[in-house]
Structure 1
Amino acid sequence: MEEIKKSLNLQTAQKLSIVIPVYNGGEAFYQCLLSVQKFAPPDTEIIIVADGDTDGSRKLAQEFTSKIIINDRALGPAEARNIGAKIATGDILFFLDADVSINEQTIPKIKQFLAKNPDITALIGSYDDQPGASNFLSQYKNLFHHYTHQQGQEEASTFWGACGIIKRDIFEKIGGFNNNYKLPSVEDIELGYRLRETGYKVSLVKDIQVKHLKKWTIISLLKADIFQRAIPWTILLLKYGNIVNDLNLSWTNRVSILLIYSLLILIILSFWLDFLYWFILFIIISLLIINQKFYSFFYEKKDLFFTLNAIVWHWLYYLYGGFGFILGVILFRFKNVN
């Protein structure tokens, strides 16, 4: 009983500040605000940074909180989060993306985890398995993210800005997000690398889940995965040398990329060398076996038709992800040479 009381007292003592950067948030931002209004305790501080929006997001925000910072031009989510954090008064900063909604368990689980693990500096959650947008790409991409985090190591190798929680004093001490990232990119991953490099602990708490409301299209998905993730993340990896068997850097992903490019080369050569068909078949079977657990997850959540489409997009992901990695290496080497 005494332990329960102590835990409850610690949870009560932790004032939470939610920081939401928004740029033309649209309907998803409205749903995000509704969820915060509904599920955040009354003492929760809500800070919104309208980052050069042109769709009236700042006016919408005024209906939900008085703590609004307005940037006349878009400075990027990294700087927007830093600006919001500067006026925060909470002991804990909860960074939430404008296209994400919380549920009734999100904040209680955050406080409970921090109360039980006082040595943890920061923690991240994951998307749930019920994405907001109904089109195939949105379901595929967000379920992909959910699965990746659910399979990740509990001692996280990075940070995550969509649902990331960090002690305010440590955030200030380490210098916050890197303002050099002017577009949505790997600013959260970079922060996580600095935290771990300095000796702070980051946890992945898999039962802290939020809903992603973003509607993905082919263009937005490719743009994000290649130019906002693969290339800058590769540069970051080469800078820090922090390649671990976790999340998107797991051994299955790395081996699958090699297999996909081997498959592509063999398919091209097979126009002249018929015997290569056996090697092509071997690689296809290998890819299916290596990723079997992932594809079974899609089949359990959806159906066979969805899973077959997901396999095609997953293999494309390995293809353009590998391409982004190569470009990242070239850019990193070119930058160092010059």
Structure 2
Amino acid sequence: MIVSIVIPVYNGGESFQKCLSSLQQFVPPETEVVVVVDGGTDRSEQLARSFGAKVVTFPTASGPARARNHGAKIATGDILLFLDADVTIHADTLPQVRKIFEERSDVAALIGSYDDAPGAPNFLSQYKNLFHHYTHQTGVTEASTFWGACGAIRRDVFLELGGFDENYRYPSVEDIDLGYRLKKAGYRIELCKTVLVKHLKCWRLLNLLKAEFFYRALPWTELIWRDRQFVNDLNLQISSRISIILAYCLAISVPIAFLWIGAVAIAMLFGLALLFINWPVYQFFYQQRGGWFACGTVFWHWLYFLYGGLAFAIGTIRYHSVSRHTPHQPKLLEILEL
């Protein structure tokens, strides 16, 4: 079972170099590595060639969906392993992927997980990448979606479904869309929690909110409505939906408390309810990084519920009124890129 690794990159920088170094360290030299340079102004192309990768270059960026599709077309392996340019693999990542496909004929695709040791040291990066790790480690084994950062799929199945939707011109929900189409076609996607990669991305407030609100939550909402994928898994767990309601009740009751003293007790009840329903998450953070870190994550986690709920509301209105039949990324994204 031959595995081809496909990596889209746009101004990959130091993280891309570490990604390639991990492949050089843990991947047999005969393994095909296809790098698609999706525009950019740095030395990603030269770097990829120096590591012996098969390189394709686009002069202008059009998003990882097109880049991955082109890489898949020129790849020769039976299995396509898609990796992001800002992740590094472990020694057993590739062997596990190959073994699963060799032993499990029922598995058409699999997704892995970030490990519990993110590369960027700042608090927001540690929190966000650890939260992503927790989400995958607590997800159900039969996944409901695909994941482009560390996802593998049988090449014939990928080509049969037409690959990623290239209408997504930014790093967005093209992988989730592919996962929904895989499930609709009757294929099985396996969440393999031991297939790990390390995420090197450094998250800051603005790029986090931009990515999560505009690039993920808004278009994901439209996909949910399009395919009616209200599954109790990963980011869509019932506990998360309840937490969104509680977070907004808390946000409304706090300013009311300045006008009516009775609202203080109500706000405290909503806060305690949020803590209770999400206690396993905070316990995980405590075990990973200690008490102070766990306390610091509470604000960001509750903020996540607030902007996630707002994105779902806007996305729902947009789907039912504007783009019901063509759920692509909001035009606001193009304005942000100007």
Rounded to whole Å, the distance in 1 between the matches of 2:205 and 2:20 is: 27
The equivalent residue for 1:196 is 183
Rounded to whole Å, the distance in 2 between the matches of 1:143 and 1:152 is: 14
What amino acid maps onto 2:50 in structure 1? E
From 293, 296, 320, the counterpart of 2:283: 296
- For structure 1, list consecutive stretches of 5 or more residues without a partner in the other structure: 1-13
The equivalent residue for 1:10 is none
Aligned 1:240-255 pairs, distance under 5 A: 240-255=227-242
The equivalent residue for 1:155 is 142
Rounded to whole Å, the distance in 2 between the matches of 1:175 and 1:327 is: 29
The equivalent residue for 2:260 is 273
For residues 116-162 of structure 1, give each alpha carbon's deviation from its aligned partner in whole angstroms, at most 9, with x where no partner exists. 21110000000000000100011000000000000001000000000
What amino acid maps onto 2:137 in structure 1? Q
Q: Which moved more, 1:127-136 or 1:300-309?
A: 300-309
Q: Which moved more, 1:109-118 or 1:228-237?
A: 109-118
Rounded to whole Å, the distance in 2 between the matches of 1:65 and 1:74 is: 23
Task: For residue 157 of structure 1, give the secondary structure of its aligned residue in structure 2.
Answer: coil
The equivalent residue for 2:85 is 98
Give the direction of change, closer, same or farther, for the CA distance of 1:152–1:79 in structure 2 (3 Å limit): same
Aligned 1:27-38 pairs, distance under 5 A: 27-38=14-25
What amino acid maps onto 1:85 in structure 2? A
Task: For residue 322 of structure 2, give the secondary structure of its aligned residue in structure 1.
Answer: helix
Task: For residue 264 of structure 1, give the secondary structure of its aligned residue in structure 2.
Answer: helix
Give the count of matched residue pairs. Answer: 325
From 54, 58, 70, the counterpart of 1:83: 70
Q: Which moved more, 1:319-328 or 1:123-132?
A: 319-328
Please report how far the alpha carbon of residue 192 of structure 1 lies from its aligned counterpart in structure 2 after TM superposition. Answer: 0.0
When normalised by structure 2's length, the TM-score is 0.94
The equivalent residue for 1:45 is 32
Task: For residue 202 of structure 1, give the secondary structure of its aligned residue in structure 2.
Answer: strand
Rounded to whole Å, the distance in 1 between the matches of 2:324 and 2:105 is: 44
Rounded to whole Å, the distance in 2 between the matches of 1:219 and 1:71 is: 28
Q: Which moved more, 1:268-277 or 1:143-152?
A: 268-277
Aligned 1:318-329 pairs, distance under 5 A: 318-329=305-316
The equivalent residue for 1:6 is none
Give the direction of change, closer, same or farther, for the CA distance of 1:337–1:75 in structure 2 (3 Å limit): closer
Identity percentage over the alignment? 53
Q: Which moved more, 1:324-333 or 1:246-255?
A: 324-333
Please report how far the alpha carbon of residue 78 of structure 1 lies from its aligned counterpart in structure 2 after TM superposition. Answer: 0.3
- For structure 2, list consecutive stretches of 5 or more residues without a partner in the other structure: 326-338
Indicate conservation of the 8 Å contact 1:47/1:65, yes or no. Answer: no
Aligned 1:65-214 pairs, distance under 5 A: 65-214=52-201
Please report how far the alpha carbon of residue 337 of structure 1 lies from its aligned counterpart in structure 2 after TM superposition. Answer: 7.6
Rounded to whole Å, the distance in 1 between the matches of 2:11 and 2:254 is: 44
Rounded to whole Å, the distance in 2 between the matches of 1:337 and 1:189 is: 17
Is 1:215 aligned to residue 202 of structure 2? Answer: yes
